Structure 1
Amino acid sequence: MVDVPELVARAREGRPRAVARLISLVEGASPQLREVMAALAPLTGGAYVIGLTGSPGVGKSTTTSALVTAYRAAGKRVGVLAVDPSSPFSGGALLGDRVRMSEHASDPGVYIRSMATRGHLGGLAWAAPQAIRVLDAAGCDVILVETVGVGQSEVEIAAQADTCAVLLAPGMGDGIQAAKAGILEIGDIYAVNKADRDGADAAARELNHMLGLGEARGPGDWRPPILKMVAARGEGVDELVAAVEKHRAWMDEHGALAARRVRRAAAEIETIAVTALRTRLADLHGNDHLAGLAAGVVAGELDPYGAADTLIASLKDA
């Protein structure tokens, strides 16, 4: 058993091994997870969470590394949560983002953690909300969350980030991709990376046109800016940081940041509750009661909704 108060205290001191151990407890769904979350709860709320999403190859890891450099230059402690896809065959993941961000590996003010999706869709690992809480409690001022980058399913980051930046690149068909699956709705900031390539101006114009077509904003609402950058050379990174700060100030002024964080907590609570209910339902799969309800549906004696109501009632009584 882990001494949770001691582990949390060491994480608060900025010890990387303690932070890593806490996130490992989260990923492994440790029996002590409830104790860990209870200990972290009073210590959270100080970090600003920035989500970075976009199709593979747009430069998310390069942009993340450039943002780390910018925020470290400003004296801020930075946490990075980089999510990599899991293999559907072996279940493993390369977790290559720490390799790409190796220049920050020796910086005690930076903590980089790669996480595997473990089959979870939406661009994030299922344990991401709790891992963000660990980094927050560990004293990070800014937490950068980089999604898998698998395409149009990358909308889950909007629920976890205070500011969500969508990255695109010229010549990759991103203009069309941006019009699909809610991508236009999740971005607070849009950045056309690799802007030294042909077609960058056209990509920015096309994106601006699409934002205008899909716009349903009032006069005082936030309008996402469209930036151009070359993250590999550090060009446009300061403008991206400035756009994040401008969005943060707007949300503070309009009370949107607090509302977004309440929605995030509500979604997390709902996920935990639904997971617990699924576990209890799974325990009933070998139960004679469930088998009897199923037989009643097959025989036409029960409808599936009535059977489900009966099952739910049995969960309440259990």
Structure 2
Amino acid sequence: MTRNNYYAISIALILTLLGVSLPHSTAASGGEDERPIKLYARAESGPIGRVVSYGAARIDGRLAEQDRLIWGGEVLQAPPNRSLHVALDSVGRVILKPGSLARFSVTSKRVDDSTVGSLLIASVVSGDMVIRLEQTAEAYVEAGGKAITSSRGASFQVGAGEGGPVIDTLSGTVTSGAQTPQGRYTIRPVGGRANVSVRLRKTREVQVQVTDENDRPVPDVPIIFTVGGSGAALGSGAATATVTTNALGIATTSVTGTATGASSVTATIAGTNTATTIGVTTAAAGILTGTTIGVIAAAVAAGTTAAVVVTQQNNDENNQITEARPPRITP
């Protein structure tokens, strides 16, 4: 290739690149397909309402004061001895009965060509709640494995009963629809461990798995863990935690021993009454059993140099935790 040809090709490449990088007008020149492409972005962010009643209410397991804002997706728990009142912007008011747990979210829904209303999306984890909607708001609620819908401006009470949702319509129209997908799921402890042990002030994992009617793992299912009893707490220090199942259908949380004794961790599929409970036993750290002390004493008396293996006896497993060699005794 001659030098002149090289220069010519280089100039052509430069002009081509410039042509690609220069902005081109997208104004229409007569054809429908030549209109400018316009991208619209619409983001909604902000609180959806607030807690308006007194009492030891909890949001995602943490104590919440009156007028605490909620942003959507949190798990709200009413105090054990009184109801929890929640005001939702452009939706209405929700009253959680004592001890009840539920999750809320709000979105917009077009009523007609000129009116945009609100849609309350809720799931009852346990207990009952009363919903009083504004005239332009509707509700979609999952409870007891069923999907419940309401007309605009309806008022009703709904709860997660043993055999399905319990509904009491106060005004408007409320319909219990088909079974939700979560209602057909099964949840069980991983490995079949219905009981676990944890040392005082130590932490260990607790895992559950969600499967469908064909025993296949189900991902992306929200699981709500709650602790019963005073001997343990979730790793975050909260009484409840929400974890989404992974690709294997497994949700994992951690539990910490806070006091010796028996406790429990209950894992519930959000919006249903499908749950499993794992017993938790908290044992004091560093305590040797009488059997272990006897074995060590016998080994020392015999003057053996063989290793003595100390085994921790748990409810669900035998863990080899340490190896102790007795001293050599010389007469």
Is the TM-score greater than 0.5? no
- TM-score computed with the length of structure 1 as normaliser: 0.26
**Which structure has more helix as a fraction of its residues?**
1
Structure with higher Rg: it is 2
- TM (norm. structure 2) is 0.25
Q: Which has the higher strand share?
A: 2
Of the two structures, which has the highest relative contact order with CA contacts closer than 8 Å and spacing of 6 or more?
A: 1
